[in-house]
Structures are given as structure tokens and as C-alpha cells.
Amino acid sequence: MVNYQLLRNDFSANTEKFKEFYRYRKSVFYYCGIILIVVFLAVNFLSYDDETIDSQEQNYAEHPRNIVAEQESGQKLPFTTTPSPPLIPYKYEELPACDLSTDSPKPLHNAEAIANEFFKCASMILLRFAMNPQGMLFNWPYTIYVCDEEDLSSRIPLISFDNGQKQYWAVLPTCQEKTTLVTLGASENTKSEEDIKKLLKDLETFGTDPFHGKNNAYGKFNQVALSTDDHEISMVDSNDKFSDKNFVATVDQREFFNVTVGTYKIDMLWITPNAGNFEYEKYLNKDGEFEKMGVKVCQINIEITKNDADKWFKLINPLVQEKRFIFMRPMATEGGELIRTYLLNVADPECYDSNRKIVPADKIIVAVEDNDETTKKPLPPFNYDSLPPCDLNEELEKPKLNLKTIQKSFLKCVFPLLTRFFGNPEGLLFNFSSVLSVCDDEEEIRNIDVTEIANDRWVIFPKCNENNTMVTLGVEKETNAESWLEEKIPNLKMYGTSGLINASHVYEHFENVAIGKEADSVKMEVMENGVLVNKTMDQKKIEEYIKDLNLTKIDILWINPYYGKFSFWDYLKRDGLLSKQGITICQMIIEVPKGHGNQWAEMIKPMQNNSSFVFMKPTTTKSGGAKAFFINYQDPECTRKYLES
């Protein structure tokens, strides 16, 4: 038997020359192996002849969900159409009303499972384009479409609204409530919109188009493009292939959604290239502009050009990470100039569960003030004469409310919700009611006896008997609430100012002036019969007015929208002018008009650490402003009189 170990040992080391040969021998074998592998792969690649390619193209054509790629060499995208599902009978009138208070016992779809399944598919496909925006958009229609066929995604009841030129997709509601459709860049072909209006009886529509001045399919329509400001931009009509560039009017994109649309939830958002310079990639992502404004978007049909690869890349990459929207029905026009996709929100319960809605519909802002008569509420019973005298020296065995809990509950609820709006004052005004109404139900705050009286006014009745004072800056024409307070609190002294009315039969101490930093005349925009008009008013200096009052305590302070011009927070904060002059305020109602978001933010933001007040009853007014009720939870005289007794 051969001793191989011995032979190896003989080889190993007798000469330096052999060592060198052994090293080069290993290197030669290594490179030969690599060459063989490369040759093998090349042979397999070349084995795909023209017959195989033709066979594959035939298979693609037989399956309606697959893509027929164009064979031209230019940067043209593939053309695809997605067949509509069979029509399902839909009768909106027979749907139940949306139950806004409970979860659906048996939701039609598991949104979390849909998202997990979809993004397991989509993330693997899009991974190859992680550093290639152009490649992602070019390949979008004939790669991501396969995720439509995932088990749960394929069951989503998408309905096609085809106008003969393009398809819009929608999931129809399963209960009755107002539905909002917003189209950025509407076309003259409105068959899709008309078909939706026939199905949904309570549909509110908003549209824009910079090239046409009228569109009867939309309840509110503006001939503008969206942009980052209101300057004219040059653009081409995407609906007219022979169109040249033209300068068109624009509207600031934030103003359009905050003011023109004026709703906290958009059920359907349609975006076309005629939208203008709308920065959808900054609005639709988590922590984007829509979220900062408190606006939820449920369904999106978006159409972009082949030149929008970078914007599309900035939108899609975060969406894959956030798992908020799934994207379905990708397609491209013939020639690849336009790419269309449908996005569905699967992260927000208000969108994926039609039977739920966090904020009641009556909290939604109406951008135009109407002239309806005020609804008269039944007056609550209150007998002031039966109250005991106020005595601060008397120690309460068990105060009715825990003041520390009130403060803690207020801070814990309000400011985490408001932080996102501190860089967006108008968004703070717009969302004030819908975002903060939940805080009225926090521990101890819900136990504060706030009573609503006429004209959407609130008051906490005194729990003991002593002198009472009320000051109103900006007395309005209608004074039903003041008349009732005067009747129920006999010793209430009432002081008021107004530049809008000349006299008041309710306020015994009334001055026909506005209040401001300087004694002068002031021009203000005021709302009259739903229209803003300019008015010139005499103005009295705030320090002079306060000095003339000669008061040390104001039980009720109302600051109405057209009180004058001054920053009232400088006077109301813990170390403000009123405090320095020894004047205490117990409860307030403050209202600011639309367009005064900075002033509202200036007051609300510092309340986190420099205020003796908590606020309740957040309200968005019909004219687009904000209003709230404030109660002093720190001053002993105020807390004993209104909270603890």
C-alpha cells in the first residue's frame, strides 16, 4: 500500500523551487474554475433564442393582468390596461348610517394583514430600484402590478370609473356619511365624476383646472393650478397633446386645502399633471403637510409624467417603510408619457373601516358664514339668590375637583396633539376643534360644570354669592347670552366695547370703540352677511381702558373677533400686564377670526408652561376662525367660586 502521507511529506519541502511551483499550481486551478463557470452561464444565456422570446410574449398577451412591453428602444414605458371587475349592485340609500362610536364587529377586511401581505410583495420588487428613481418609474407598471394579485389585495372591491380616456378607481363606502372628492387638474371629460355622483348621494366635490374656467361636475371649481405660492407658472395642458406652454394662475397649495376645501378628511383625491406644481411627495407621507394640517386622505388616483421620477421616488420609498398606503392598478398610457396608480390608505381607521369615524361630521369647518338664525337653547335652571356667601377663609373638607389633576390631564392631552401645528398657524385654526375635542373627556376636566348658553357661549356658574363683573371686548349685535346672564346673576356689572355697534341696551358701561395698542383709528376687515368688508373704527388704548375699569377681578371676559388690534396674550399670561396691575380673570371665551392663526398660536403655545388657564370647548367657527372657553385653575378666589365648591 502506498503511503500517501509520506509522499506528501516528500513533496512538501525539499526545495524552494517546488514551493514556488505549488503556489502557482493553486492559482492556475482557481482561475480555470472561474472561467468554466462564466462559460457555463454564457451558454445558458444564449440558449434563449427568438422562439423562446416569442413564446414568452404570447404568454404575456394571453393574461390580461400582465404587461405587453413595447419593443422600441427609446425611453418609452410599457402600455397596460387593467380590466374592470364585474359590476356589483350598489344602493347607497339602503346603507346604514355610519356608527361613529363603535368599532365594526366584523370588518370586511383586515387592514393590517392586507398591508403586511402587500408590502412583503412590493418591498422585494422595489428593492432593486433603491438607488434608481428613473428605473423605478420606467419599470413601475410592469413590476408592481403582480402585488394586486396577492390573496387579500385581490379581494378589495375596487370599482372602475372609466370615462373612455382614463380609469379612476374607488372603494365605495359601506355606510352613509358625507363623501368628499377633490380633483387637482380636472378635465372636460367628467363621465367618471358623474358616475360617482349617481352612486353617492351625499358627495361634496372640489376641482381645479388652470385651462378651463367652468366645470359643472364640481360643486366648487377654481381655474387655477396649485403651487408653492400664488405666482403664475408656465405649463402645458396634459389633456391636449398639441398644447403649447402657457402662463396660468396659481393658488398656494396649503391655502387651497386649508381654506377652499376646508375639511379634515378627503375621501377621494385625484391628481393629474394639470394640478400644477403640487408637491404631493411632501403632503402624502407620514409627518407630511397633510398630517401637519390634520387632513386625512383615504383614496388617491394619481397620474404623473415620465419626467416625475424623482418626485415619485421620494413618495414611494417612505410609503413602503410606513405601510400607510398600498398602491394598486399601475398602468401607463400608450407611448409611456403618463403613468397612473391607485393608492389606498390602510393605516387610518376612518378610511379602512367605513363604520368608524373619530370626529363627528358636525365638527367640520364651513368656510363661508351663513345667515341662519341662532338656534335658541333651553336655558338651564340657576338660582343665584340661593347661593351661600363666598368665604375664602372657610376651609373645604373635600373640594369638588382636584386642581392638580385638571392641570395634569390638560397638559397630557392637549399639547401632544397640538405640537405638529405649531409651525402651521392656519392649520392650528383649521383643526382646532376636530383635534382637541377629545380632551374635554379627560379625567377631572369632564367634571367641570361648563354650561352652554345662547350663541355658542359657555359659562361656569358661581357656587357662592358675591359681586360679579363681566367685560366684553367686541360686543356683537346679538346679545341673547348677555341678556340671560344679566337676568340670572342680578348683581352682574357689565362692561363692553365695540367698533361695530353704536350702543347696547344690555351693557350698562359701553363704549363705541375698538381696543388697541394706540389711541387712534383702525381699519379692520369684518364679516357682514357672509362678506368681508373694510370698516374704520375709533380705537382706545388698552392700558387706558383697563385703568378706567378700576377692577381687581373680572369674573367673565369675552374677547370677540373684532375687538380691535392688540396681542391679548401679552396681557393674559401669568406675568402679563393684567397680572402686574393686580387684575385677576376667572373665566374667558376668546374667539379669533379666520386668517389670525399666528395670534391664536401665539396664545395657545405658551399655555404649556406660562398660564393659569386650561381651555375647553374647542370650536371651529363657521367663518373659519377658532373659539374656546378658558378657566383659571390656579387663583384661589376663582377656584373657590367656580371649581371647588
Confirm whether 109-238+251-361 and 404-514+549-644 share one CATH topology. yes
3 state SS for 274-297: HHECCCHHHHCCCCCHHHHHCCEE
| Res 29: pLDDT | 65
CB 569, CB 602: distance < 8 Å = yes
The C-alpha cell that represents 548 in the structure block: 378706567
**DSSP 3-state of 100:** coil
The C-alpha cell that represents 519 in the structure block: 389711541
**Cα–Cα distance list, 207 to 138, 232, 241, 585 (Å):** 29, 19, 22, 47
- How far apart are the C-alpha atoms of 334 and 77, rounded to whole Å? 8
**Cα–Cα distance list, 220 to 186, 346, 370, 430, 620 (Å):** 12, 28, 17, 19, 21
Select from 109, 199, 119, 116 the least CA-distant residue to 157.
109
Select from 376, 397, 401 the least CA-distant residue to 453.
376
Residue 34: how many CB atoms within 10 A of its CB?
9
| Res 56: pLDDT | 39
| Res 84: pLDDT | 44
CATH of 109-238+251-361, one of 3.30.1600, 3.40.50, 1.10.3470, 1.10.287: 3.40.50
Positions in the chain short of pLDDT 50:
1-13, 21, 48-87, 105-106, 354-376
Q: Does domain 404-514+549-644 have CATH number 3.40.50?
A: yes
- How far apart are the C-alpha atoms of 341 and 304, rounded to whole Å? 9
Report which secondary-structure segment, H or E, holds 360: none
| Res 283: pLDDT | 93
Residue-range domain boundaries for the chain: 4-46, 109-238+251-361, 404-514+549-644
CB 339, CB 145: distance < 8 Å = no
DSSP 88: -
Residue that is written with C-alpha cell 372628492 in the block? 181
Report which secondary-structure segment, H or E, holds 317: helix 309-322
| Res 374: pLDDT | 40
| Res 191: pLDDT | 93
Q: Tell me, what amino acid is at 559?
A: I
